[in-house]
Structure 1
């Protein structure tokens, strides 16, 4: 399935004066799906480009037994499959243009439990919850940190003049009480059992963890702003 039209993108300068984070703050307020891969500091080859995407052409969600596909203003299409990652590849075309690290494609998240698609381990994930979610982006914004230049790329449709920009200030961010899925006594028992297994020679290494849950409300971008100020890095 080709959503990109022509195989090679057009890249042109974009006339916006703010830095990459300020631009993203103003754009992201107007779209339900967007992303920022920001490089602030580090080796030149790692921190050369920051990337922004907004309003993807398609949203793909992968489950343990299906994928769902939703185009803009269209109904959701369901494809039954036991290999959602392979199905995702059908939406992506390779480009010979190596001028930049990213010129469109799939951007999203993969749940930790996706390992169950690759390894035969017990299924504990809720089958109604997606294992992965990706937006398929066929245009976007690049900030060249070396040249201090803002660029816009696209394949078929130039949407640079349609960008919705809103000048908004950050609002409050609040968290509920954090609760673990195991209390301290339960978790300590698991640790002690693991120590015994190691002592008996049944295992030599184990990674133990517990899940912490909380509800969050407010401006999530404000949290990111604080983190980028505390710890700027090539990958944000």
Structure 2
């Protein structure tokens, strides 16, 4: 049964908020459901494995009503209606059309019509004449704000909104930083899909819902003249969409299950997913001596008191020819099940991620971050696992580094939280993953009055665990020492809802697929007593674990 009823829906709209329509369907595998709905500009945000506090929900989105991209200060917005012409894209700004700006061309913003953020040019989407470097977030905020959703508390926290990525390079809009690294892959600084229909899954209660948001296209992607929306008609359209989605999901046979997780870092995957006969051509883009040199330079900065710790990475690429990105995701998420896994098909590139780390979560007025710092390999059995946990927690270097990063995260959250509310509610616990054991903490605060999830991004992005301490100076050093820009690596994947709930991961253990190339980036935390050669081999080990996944596709 579709809820709410038409009568209740219209009453809520009359009261000033727009509820989503939803219908519960049989609980099923997120991968199976995604396969039935997958297309260009679709995504799966999947909690594959983890504690119920962080791995409860999965979300599947498809057929976005709007695509939002930012690159080098240019905001590009595409609507789902490719035949739309001579119309304003954003209802809130539809009465503002500078005469020098041409109309929309085929539903896509022309380059001269886009927001030139860094240059400070006046934009067709923005009233302000002086545009700050953080303006892309403000534009996204205004887009989401134009739809006044009233979410249901008993449904998962994402009931429509924007889902996608913030590249590490998005920090250029948040901080004044140099930009010397080569951007050879040329991916967006931010790329979001605005979703008005999705599947939400609750893994604790084994429930699954189709959710459709009526009237988003009319509220966000409006005509040049304000019109009265017929909400009874929008209810009927949403009801039809739910039935159509249900038919697609029911017609799709389930994916065959992948082998179950086995303890100790190995999986029973060899029989069903044998190694491919195709040889993977791997390119290590930094030579051993080059990586050791940048570690030595970072240690000089540490010795001089400039920084305390820095994360330095290297990129590895591989020719993958006709290997399927979705198959790669299926195998990666089986080998390395994580609470913040994601597959996003942006059309001209794909993101395949199995991240264990949350950067930021905002739910109602609560904000939290969950830093990971400190790692040991899994043991051969439970006794050896216990020894590894004890050794990790008793290691003075690991403890000192972790506490330093907790302090950084507390400071970040303190910038947007009520005074005295920031607290560490989980301190240095261990979490087991397929191949490693991590030290994890959880830092939480209460959002201050007038602050929201976008302020939280400005305060805490990117994460301190993958930059260093102090963060801004470390990012300057990263730009100086790393030869290529990080792109999506150590940025964030996640969602921002119409009601401004948000959950973002940190992009690690992730493939970027573009054309016939797969890119992975791996880093190591550098401190005063780091050994350059050992740090190099640590990054190599991380990269090889990911590259081996390609050999099973």
Q: For the superposition of Structure 1 and Structure 2, which TM-score range results when normalised by the shorter chain?
A: 0.7 to 0.9
- Alpha carbons of 1:12 and 1:66: their partners in 2 closer, same or farther (altered >3 Å)? same
* Pair 1:225 & 2:307 matched: no
Pairing 1:117-136 to 2, within 5 Å after superposition? 117-124=173-180, 126=183, 129-136=187-194
Residue equivalent to 1:56? 64
Return the match for 2:286 from 182, 188, 211. Answer: 182
Aligned CA RMSD, in angstroms, stands at: 3.1
What's the secondary structure of 2:140's corresponding residue?
helix
Larger-gyration structure (1/2): 2
Please tell me whether the aligned partners of residues 61 and 130 of structure 1 are also in contact (alpha carbons under 8 angstroms). yes
Q: Per-residue deviation at 1:52?
A: 0.9
**Equivalences, count:** 229
Q: Per-residue deviation at 1:204?
A: 3.8
Residue equivalent to 1:145? 203
CA distance in 2: counterparts of 1:169 and 1:142, whole angstroms = 18
Q: Per-residue deviation at 1:110?
A: 1.2
Residue segments in structure 2 that go unaligned for 5+ positions in a row: 1-16, 83-105, 118-134, 215-236, 257-272, 342-553
CA distance in 1: counterparts of 2:47 and 2:293, whole angstroms = 42
Please tell me whether the aligned partners of residues 28 and 208 of structure 2 are also in contact (alpha carbons under 8 angstroms). no
Please report the TM-score for the alignment, with normalisation by the length of structure 2.
0.37
Please report the TM-score for the alignment, with normalisation by the length of structure 1.
0.81
What's the secondary structure of 1:120's corresponding residue?
coil
* Pair 1:162 & 2:244 matched: yes
- Alpha carbons of 1:47 and 1:188: their partners in 2 closer, same or farther (altered >3 Å)? closer
- Alpha carbons of 1:195 and 1:148: their partners in 2 closer, same or farther (altered >3 Å)? closer
Pairing 1:12-91 to 2, within 5 Å after superposition? 12-14=23-25, 18-28=28-38, 31-74=39-82, 75=106, 76-77=108-109, 78-82=113-117, 83-91=135-143
Residue equivalent to 1:102? 158
CA distance in 1: counterparts of 2:286 and 2:338, whole angstroms = 34
- Alpha carbons of 1:175 and 1:8: their partners in 2 closer, same or farther (altered >3 Å)? farther
CA distance in 2: counterparts of 1:225 and 1:114, whole angstroms = 28
- Alpha carbons of 1:200 and 1:152: their partners in 2 closer, same or farther (altered >3 Å)? closer
Bigger helix share: 2
Residue segments in structure 1 that go unaligned for 5+ positions in a row: 1-5
Segment drifting more, 86-95 vs 100-109: 86-95
